[in-house]
Amino acid sequence: MPPNLTKPNSGFTSKPSPLCTFVSLIFLLIIGFYTLHYPPGNPKKVLLFQQIFLSSASNSTIASYLRSLTSHPHLAGTKPSLETIHYVKTHFQNLGLETHTVPFQTLLSYPVHASVLMHFGNGTVLNLPLNEMGIPSYPSSGLIQPYHAFSPSGTVHGKVVFANHGREDDYRTLGLMGVNVNGCIVVIRKGGGLSRGAVVKIAEKKGALGVLMYAEGDVSKGSFGSGVERGTVMEGVGDPLTPGWGADEDGERLKLEDKKVLQRFPGIPSLPLPFESAQLILDSLGGPLAPQEWRDSGRSNLSHVGSGLVMVNFTYQGEKKLATIYNVVAVIRGLEEPDRYVLMGNHRDAWTYGAVDPNSGTATLLDIARRYALLMRKGWNPRRTIIFCSWDAEEFGMIGSTEWVEQNLVNLGAKAVAYLNVDCAVQGPGFFAGATPQLDNLILEVTKKVQDQDSEVVATIYEKWKTMNGNNIQRLSGVDSDFAPFLQHAGVPSVDIYYGRDFPVYHTAFDSFNWMINNADPFFWRHVAVAGVWGLLGLHLADDPVLPFDYLSYAKQLQEYKDAYSRVLDGNISLTPLAASIQEFTSAAKQANEETKKLMEQEFTNDLLALKIRALNDGLMLAERGFLDTDGIKGREWFKHLIYGPRSNYESGLEFFPGISDAMAESKNMSQKDGHAAIKHEIWRVARAIQRAAAALKGELV
């Protein structure tokens, strides 16, 4: 789905005209007058600062940040990445923010050599291209050749089978056609919803020797040729040598041979291929005809799934080594509640130039910092502490953020109000949001205040987003960006927002500044829109006297999840414990909302009221922590959140209560009695988690 933006869209409305600028100036003068006359924390003053924030938007500053950040490839742990660290740190420091870097020493993985040879029956050998064509040759461009981080090294030789997306059901389909992948090399096309690591693990379980992956070519790239999608195949998140604790330079670490380390890596080598190279292999296959839905749209001739006379010899040699990574953290201390944290984070490391992934987000974060600093010069001090986080080594498995969360677990547990993540801020058209449900209303309200930049008529993001998908807010069960450690390990309410999705140059050498201006955001107004939403979310969470959380929205969501399980369990297993706990949670949510209303109506602040608000806020902040469980999700114990988190059973389509979903899949292998017991146990665990959340929200002992 290539973003259709090559023609400058006439819909880029609401650019500041001279008149607008004049009006804003007057407005700023008026604000300047009022800010002197309101006491700190006064709601009217807070509103005025939000207006200044919105009127200080600038597409050109964001563009210049992005250009600087993307001038070289900057893979984590490599020398050129130091420049981006310095750039971000200096930016925060020059704004007068309290800034520091947090180094960690973690296991990373780099390629040394790779080759894929096709041996034809007549003796001809073809050495397949593995890099993107049409870009400066390696290593002069500074680009690292396409690879899968943490793939084991090895040489494998065998016949080839095409296994579609590499899901369990794809192998079942092959099995029905009489095709077995045991002892073969499988070719996979990306797009089945599984992580890279999961695809390789499944292939390994089926007896495959190695995995070659390609992404369906994007025809619109034309003369570019195809990009090659780099990525990690490690499962789980964080440094594999320091599971559960921060990767301090001189700290304890596991040995590379430790079973706990090895189980996170696949046992067979894998490599990404350019589309054209994958097609050469696929065109050589014999065997049964591929099902129609396995064929690529547009360009492919794929018709057989394998195998044939052609043998493929595939070698990957990589090195895993300790490298130093750096998070950059900048702080704006809260005036009234410095011990409450609003965290705004984005990763900085990129597979290549990283214009979309992730530096569209970095440039946006830097611009929010610039605008917040401007507010401070006008007399603003947030009520709570705001922390800007620029993470390293996300691409290898959320390593920078995970190590930091592990190291700060107790303070975050006690004091973190919310984590606002932006990864690929701008990928193309259309606003998307994911969040834990108590933040839904805040997101809706904030998007009503920010202009959409793509509409033919003047419209807010909210209105445009409504016509697109009815303001659908996704949930954060995926483990695909830095919200994962915050939500799924530490229980911090989280948000993830972006413009556009499924951009065609994902993790390829073509994710460059030029691609951004030619395809995704020619004049940086989508960046401005993301900055508006992200920055306003931060201001509300930092300044609103009562935290803008609505747990009725969470309660409603939990009820829907329960109903979904009730349908699939078909009355065979009782969901009564879950129903009871959701009822308890709902009444706690109602009580919190009433308390909020009552406290907000009070005209004059006094110490007693301040303490009451603080107690209410504690409940609102800590409720999410209730969903954590010390034992975590079975088989993936690091993941502590029982509502949102990864599941191993991808086929159920149930992206919530992962423990119950997995137990249902496992129960198929058990006696009915044992199976039901396993499912019931997981239902009880979730019910107890919801009870804990309800008690935390109420803030009372039972």
Ligand X SMILES: *[C@@H]1O[C@H](CO)[C@@H](O)[C@H](O)[C@H]1NC(C)=O
User: CB 210 → ligand X: shortest distance, Å?
Assistant: 12
Q: Which of 276, 100, 228 is nearest to 511 (CA)?
A: 228
User: CB 155 → ligand X: shortest distance, Å?
Assistant: 5
How many residues bind ligand X (CB under 6 A)? The answer is: 23
User: Does residue 223 interact with ligand X by CB under 6 A?
Assistant: no
Query: How far is CA 188 from its chain centroid?
Result: 23
Tokens 């003047």, located at residue: 458
User: Does residue 22 interact with ligand X by CB under 6 A?
Assistant: no
User: CB 483 → ligand X: shortest distance, Å?
Assistant: 28
Angle at 340 between CA 339 and CA 341, to 5 degrees: 115
User: Does residue 157 interact with ligand X by CB under 6 A?
Assistant: yes
Residues 635-654 touching ligand X, rule: CB under 6 A, are: none
User: Does residue 115 interact with ligand X by CB under 6 A?
Assistant: yes
Rounded distance, CA 318 to CA 326, Å? 23
Nearer to ligand X, 120 or 684 (CB): 120
| Integer angstrom CA distances of residue 637 from 237, 254, 436, 524, 588 | 12, 17, 21, 42, 29
Residues 258-287 touching ligand X, rule: CB under 6 A, are: 283
Binding mask 23-62 for ligand X (x = CB under 6 A): ------------------------------------xx--
Q: Which of 181, 169, 179, 401 is nearest to 293 (CA)?
A: 169
Nearer to ligand X, 572 or 605 (CB): 572
Rounded distance, CA 620 to CA 416, Å? 11
**Region of residue 522 (phi > 0: left; psi between -120 and 50: alpha; otherwise: beta):** alpha
User: CB 8 → ligand X: shortest distance, Å?
Assistant: 9
Q: Which of 187, 166, 209 is nearest to 274 (CA)?
A: 187
Binding mask 401-440 for ligand X (x = CB under 6 A): ----------------------------------------
- Most distant pair of Cα atoms in the chain: their distance: 90
Nearer to ligand X, 89 or 636 (CB): 636
CB-side exposure of 599: number of CA atoms within 13 Å?
23
Catalytic residue among 394, 584, 595, 655: 394
Contact window for ligand X (CB under 6 A) among 115-123, 558-566, 593-601, 694-702:
115-123
| Integer angstrom CA distances of residue 202 from 59, 166, 169 | 45, 7, 11
Nearer to ligand X, 380 or 657 (CB): 657
Nearer to ligand X, 546 or 569 (CB): 569
Residues 658-687 touching ligand X, rule: CB under 6 A, are: 665-666, 669
Rounded distance, CA 204 to CA 196, Å? 12
Contact window for ligand X (CB under 6 A) among 37-45, 120-128, 430-438, 576-584:
120-128
Rounded distance, CA 351 to CA 185, Å? 26
Pick one of 486, 513, 524, 639: the residue that binds ligand X (CB under 6 A). 524
Nearer to ligand X, 139 or 571 (CB): 571
User: Does residue 618 interact with ligand X by CB under 6 A?
Assistant: no
User: CB 599 → ligand X: shortest distance, Å?
Assistant: 43
Residue 615: CB atoms within 10 Å: 13
SS3 content of the chain, % helix, strand, coil (to 5): 40, 15, 40
Rounded distance, CA 148 to CA 146, Å? 7
Nearer to ligand X, 205 or 255 (CB): 205
Residue spans of alpha helices (H) in 108-238? 168-176, 196-205
Nearer to ligand X, 283 or 463 (CB): 283
Question: Residue 632: which residues within 8 A CB-CB, separation 6 or more?
Answer: 638, 639, 640
User: Does residue 182 interact with ligand X by CB under 6 A?
Assistant: no
User: CB 157 → ligand X: shortest distance, Å?
Assistant: 4
User: Does residue 110 interact with ligand X by CB under 6 A?
Assistant: no
Residue 634: CB atoms within 10 Å: 17
Residues 122-141 touching ligand X, rule: CB under 6 A, are: 122, 124
Structure tokens of 208?
């495959």
Rounded distance, CA 77 to CA 84, Å? 12
Question: Residue 244: which residues within 8 A CB-CB, separation 6 or more?
Answer: 406, 638
Residues 551-590 touching ligand X, rule: CB under 6 A, are: 569-570, 572
Nearer to ligand X, 6 or 411 (CB): 6
Nearer to ligand X, 158 or 243 (CB): 158
Angle formed by the axes of helices 672-698 and 576-601, nearest 10°: 10
User: Does residue 514 interact with ligand X by CB under 6 A?
Assistant: no
Q: Which of 614, 599, 612, 179 is nearest to 417 (CA)?
A: 614
Q: Which of 375, 395, 384, 403 is nearest to 344 (CA)?
A: 384
User: CB 601 → ligand X: shortest distance, Å?
Assistant: 43
User: CB 315 → ligand X: shortest distance, Å?
Assistant: 5
User: CB 419 → ligand X: shortest distance, Å?
Assistant: 30
Structure tokens of 690?
């919801």
User: Does residue 315 interact with ligand X by CB under 6 A?
Assistant: yes
Nearer to ligand X, 155 or 411 (CB): 155
User: CB 467 → ligand X: shortest distance, Å?
Assistant: 23
Rounded distance, CA 118 to CA 308, Å? 12
Check if 394 is active-site. Answer: yes
Nearer to ligand X, 15 or 681 (CB): 15
Query: How far is CA 623 from its chain centroid?
Result: 23
User: CB 116 → ligand X: shortest distance, Å?
Assistant: 9
Rounded distance, CA 531 to CA 512, Å? 20
User: Does residue 301 interact with ligand X by CB under 6 A?
Assistant: yes
**Rounded to the nearest 5°, which phi and psi values hold at 297?**
-75, 140
Pick one of 2, 9, 11, 12: the residue that binds ligand X (CB under 6 A). 12
Q: What is 544-563 written as a DSSP string?
A: -SS----HHHHHHHHHHHHH
Contact window for ligand X (CB under 6 A) among 30-38, 117-125, 351-359, 610-618:
117-125
User: Does residue 120 interact with ligand X by CB under 6 A?
Assistant: yes
Residue spans of alpha helices (H) in 307-460? 359-377, 399-407, 409-415, 440-447
- Element (H or E) spanning 598, and its range? helix 576-601
- What are 342's strand-pairing partners? 386, 418
User: CB 646 → ligand X: shortest distance, Å?
Assistant: 15
User: CB 278 → ligand X: shortest distance, Å?
Assistant: 11
Nearer to ligand X, 40 or 308 (CB): 308
Binding site for ligand X (CB under 6 A): 12, 15, 59-60, 63, 115, 120, 122, 124, 155, 157, 283, 301, 313, 315, 523-524, 569-570, 572, 665-666, 669
Active site residues: 394
